[in-house]
Structure 1
């Protein structure tokens, strides 16, 4: 009892102490004239023992944007943050990113810090695994992303979800002039899709009634609180809270994880029963492949289910949310997509969307500004030197920053702040040809050995949704004039507070 009270006191007094210091510092700054922003007053000061802790703590609520400003003002787009006894080296330099993700891949695993922070939620799933465990999961998963599987995904699962669920919901909203949270709609769509294609399970989350689902909120809570763990300036605090079962966030996380685990276990139970009844089924989904591989350890398979649900649910919905926002702000790009949709009239839906190059470029440009996974980190297992000369010591957290990389003038030119799908295209014989960037300049889907297996599947799904929605409806933000949405990123990115829209039938 004594130790619990002591820890509770420390958990209260330490943040209070830092809050007082930061508040006093802020008041001093406010009393003086505000200087013109320069690299000198953007780069945080480092103090003995605590390093850049105060600056890090003061910018906790806008950590992604703050780090972006630092990297934009660092000579080699690389900066070291010293936080008490922890060193983070953060980079937006493509040469360094290639070094981390490919050239010295073996020296930069996820590492203990990342795994420990996310283990309660993701366990040993593919996105939290290293070594042989990761290799096995990737090998089995790769079968799900061949051309045959992608065609089936588009022509059956996605088409059914669009025609039977998404379009009726949007039509009803247009007829009734109701406001929808489009981010929520897209998440529901993606949730149903990934469960159908990967596990052969339909959660019926995107129904006209838009049912409340505890599992969706549980995923949201688990993503948010686990992401907060990763960026916590004093990890010992959340670890103490978890150990002593105190504090609302850690208690809420445990409830959420319990719900997520139950969801995954129920899917596994149903799939095992189905495989017993029909062990030689020709159509093998992802879950069936893992179960048939001989890995019947429920926890192992449960972690796989959770990881793939997270990836399929959060990434495509985030990218599409921001795309529809940007298209509203850039009507000329929307018009180009509409022209492209009208031109595609092949008998094969699959072939149509494969050749929608302007739509593809528009998605790439949206994810340049708003990557679904804005920041990722590794751990240096040995001393190293990066291409820009940065010295890396063993145990350093190496962080690459896709959000910042999409805002670097050194990469995208002086017009980096403009939404221009054309930067991904060139004209040949009066047709657009897509010209991609290398994955180390644009690591939205990671790069190297861990490059996202679902990249092609994601683009096909997103392009099909864009084509069907825009050809039938206008998606109009239901926000005040001048409103700017806030980008927030935990493990994955979201538009803070959702994306309220009005739907109008498109009249030709």
Structure 2
């Protein structure tokens, strides 16, 4: 009798949950339909809601770029999303600098990523953001911390990356270079942030529960932002269904890992260590807060570097003259040195390498867009009205393809555009907001760029990377950072001494 009652009760609960979920989805779609029909029936909103843009474009970012190019102001309005998207440098400067306090990340964004990033630096505003920013700036600015970061990159490159490439060189074996870079940067950022070596890039390419959970948490958190209405994912989270259930399980793994690491560090002591966790533990006693801070740095230091390196080598495969120029510069700067790696000071003298990397980031920024939310009514420099609560998105991917920003050759990969008399000349950060700009400019930028340079020089010095096939235009998978669908399959050849 008790079992029958339990089955009956479970059936009722399941039926009620399904009915409630179905009603919520239908209600959300009805609201969107009414907003579209009664408030906006414009061509852009229609194309977005029906996904008709996919008939002409492989990537949403390319469709946005197409629309922004046609806009007289360099901005478009997706009314059904309450989102103004811009590729206008004046708008970027306005929201990131001139009216910074009026354009925070906002509650909608922090709610979206709250389960994953918690109160980490990329998901908060106000005093919490200022505190973490000040702490991170202080620690990342220390010579000992930067030297530690450089040593970690060199060690990972020498002991893992190069041996892995050697193991497949000349054997006709296709290697997914994007996956290699993701493993490399994961090992690297874990060693730098936690003082832990997960060994994700060992020759056996082992599985890692933590890395896989991190990937799932990042992907499913990003998918929340693609929903037509936040009600959809919130109901799925409430009922513990689908991707929200998987997200919850992935975050549980991350939380357990973080607790274990923090506990070990407290037992072993942290005052003499240079990893970020140890540095922050000297000031913060809240373990949950420490977890949020470090997970945020893992996100920034892992996926962005891997994305930047993947795009760079995809471009190099189509521009062998750029690779030759980098190798010539390397030989000129390093000379007859027997060292396997260029020193930090030697890399600072490689202006062409720096220009080639920045030109790659211009065309393929790891973070293709970033959003803020207007705290009050505002007017953009060109007269565009922004209603309170509106999401304003600046789009670095589109900005790199705007003729009025970069000239008629904006679609070409030309490192020379960054050089004057052979020396690198920086561009206005508001027309190149790849590392953000203004008060939120990336404080780990220099460490990330040095990491990329180490990898590029080490690889092209010893190997030739070829992308087989016709090199179709990149297609991106949904996510917080730009990730190529299907990875980057390559063939590796050893260079002659």
Q: Is the 8 A contact 1:475 1:501 kept in 2?
A: yes
Give 2:406's aligned residue: 412
| Superposed displacement of residue 477, structure 1 | 1.4
The one of 349, 362, 370 aligned to 1:355: 349
Compute the RMSD of aligned alpha carbons: 2.3
Partner of 2:8: none
Shift of 1:50: 5.2
- Residues 357-436 of structure 1 correspond to what in structure 2 (within 5 A)? 357-427=351-421, 432-436=422-426
Equivalent pairs counted in the alignment come to 471
Are residues 274 and 175 of structure 1, via their aligned partners in 2, closer, same or farther at CA, if it must alter by over 3 Å?
farther
Corresponding residue of 1:451: 441
Q: How far off is 1:372 after superposition?
A: 0.6
> 1:370–1:487: 8 Å Cα contact kept in structure 2?
no
Equivalences for 1:21-420 in 2 at 5 Å?
47-49=37-39, 53-59=45-51, 62-83=59-80, 86-146=81-141, 148-149=143-144, 151-153=146-148, 155-246=150-241, 248-275=242-269, 280-281=271-272, 283-293=273-283, 295-345=284-334, 349-420=343-414
Deviation at 1:16, TM superposition (A): 8.9
Distance 1:267 1:369 in 2: 38
Query: Which has the larger displacement, 481-490 or 166-175?
Result: 481-490
- Tell me if structure 2 keeps the 8 A contact 1:382–1:395: yes
* Contact kept? 1:384, 1:391, Cα under 8 Å: yes
Residue 17 of structure 2 corresponds to 4
Match of 2:5 in 1: none
Matched, 1:440 2:427: no
Residue 487 of structure 1: how far off its partner (Å): 2.6
Contact 1:368/1:442 (8 A) holds in 2: yes
User: Quick one: distance in 2 between partners of 1:17 and 1:484?
Assistant: 37
Distance 2:329 2:142 in 1: 23
Q: Is the 8 A contact 2:214 2:254 kept in 1?
A: yes
Shift of 1:18: 11
Shift of 1:150: 6.0
* Gap runs ≥5 in structure 1: 22-44
**TM superposition shift of 1:13:** 5.1
Structure 2 gap ranges (5+): 1-12
CA contact (8 A) 1:373 1:489 kept: no
- 3-state SS of the aligned residue for 2:94? helix
Q: C-alpha separation between the residues in 2 aligned to 1:155 and 1:371?
A: 23
Asked whether the equivalents of residues 368 and 482 of structure 2 are also in contact (C-alpha less than 8 Å), the reply is: yes
CA displacement at 1:179 relative to structure 2: 1.7
CA drift of 1:448 comes to 0.7
Q: Deviations over 1:463-508 (max 9, x none)?
A: 1110010010011113x22533313352111111111111100125
Give the CA deviation at 1:12: 6.1
In 2: Cα distance, 1:3 partner to 1:353 partner:
63
Query: C-alpha separation between the residues in 2 aligned to 1:499 and 1:14?
Result: 41
8 A Cα contact 2:103 2:374, kept in partner: yes
Indicate how the Cα distance of structure 1 residues 263 and 54 shifts in structure 2: closer, same or farther if over 3 A, else same.
farther
* Stretch deviating more after TM superposition (260-269 or 5-14): 5-14
Distance 1:94 1:149, change over 3 A: farther
